[in-house]
Amino acid sequence: MYLCFKLKKKLKIKILIADGSDLARVGLKAMFKSSKEIEVLGEAKTSKELMIKVEELNPDVVLIDYGSKEFSIDIIPKIGLKSLKAKFIGITPYSSGKTIVSALKIGIDSHIKKDCSIKEITDSVLATAKGEKFFCGELVELMRGEKINVKDVEFDVLSCEPVSLSERELEIIKLIAEGYTNAQISVVLYISNHTVNTHRKNIMKKLGVNNTAGIVMFAVKSNLVSPNKFMFSPQNEPD
């Protein structure tokens, strides 16, 4: 008696390239063409096109230059609400430590630069698809120079359960997302610092998060604030 076993074919990681530059898209597609582990499903030139392509193609990973004029960082949380599957890799020509942390808070999973090596770009896709965070060596050194430790930035998954928040709590969430400190919020709202801190603790308990990043993500997903409003704010320091 002979038993035949059919080997299960390893599925490739499906990616979507989102970049306003024709040269960048062509270059990335050519780079992945010979890969045995990664397949390019398609490309998007604008935020609007990206929204359509994500729903249509259901990629595992999206490589996006969110800094190009054809795209807005706002698109990340919007896509996140439509696709629980897609992971995001920011791929920009330049960056700063604070910009990277802000992008992570918005929903970027990993971050590399356009001048990274082919191996680093490929490794970033493989790692991100597995749910890991990846940063190219140059960006790691950049963040170290700015005394930023990405491991200290926690990103909580917000509950889908309905949350009951008061008008005052919504005001405070908005201000926190815009980068205001407790002391600054107390001045703006004419309440004591102790009261702000109490509200903050209650908000975190209701949202089921334990840091500022969780509050920021809720604010963005709830359209209380636009990511562009605080993304490059010097006040918005990482936790």
- Taking only the tens place, the pLDDT of each residue in 213-234 is 778 877 877 677 765 554 444 4
Question: What is the predicted pLDDT for the residue at 62?
Answer: 94
Low-confidence ranges of the chain (pLDDT < 70): 1-10, 80-84, 146, 148-163, 222, 226-239
Q: Of 130, 109, 129, 226, which Cα lies nearest the Cα of 178? A: 226
**Residue 183's pLDDT is what?**
93
Going 204 to 205 to 210 to 213, the CA torsion angle's sign is: negative
Give pLDDT, residue 92: 87
CB-based contact 185:176 (threshold 8 Å):
yes
Query: Treating both helix axes as pointing N-terminal to C-terminal, what angle do 167-177 and 193-207 enclose, rounded to 10 degrees?
Result: 90
| Vertex 78: Cα angle to 108 and 113 (nearest 5) | 25
pLDDT per residue as tens digits for the range 86-117: 899 999 887 777 777 777 777 888 888 888 88
Amino acid at 159: S
Q: Which H or E element spans position 18?
A: strand 13-18
The CATH number fitting domain 13-152, selected from 3.40.1360.10, 3.40.50.2300, 3.40.50.720, 3.30.2270.10: 3.40.50.2300
Domain ranges across the chain? 13-152, 167-230
- The correct answer on CATH 1.10.10.10 for the domain covering 167-230 is yes
49 touches 43 (CB < 8 A): no
Q: Given this model, what pLDDT does residue 151 score?
A: 58
Task: Kindly give the residue spans of alpha helices, DSSP state H, lying in 20-166.
Answer: 22-32, 47-57, 75-82, 97-106, 118-129, 137-145
Instruction: Indicate the pairing of strand 38-44 with strand 110-113.
Output: unpaired
Give the number of other Cβ atoms within 10 Å of residue 224's Cβ.
19
Residue type, 97: G
Percent above pLDDT 70 for the chain: 79
User: Reading across the β-sheet that carries 13-18, which strands appear in turn?
Assistant: 38-44, 13-18, 61-64, 87-92, 110-113
Pick from 48, 82, 44: nearest CA to 64: 44
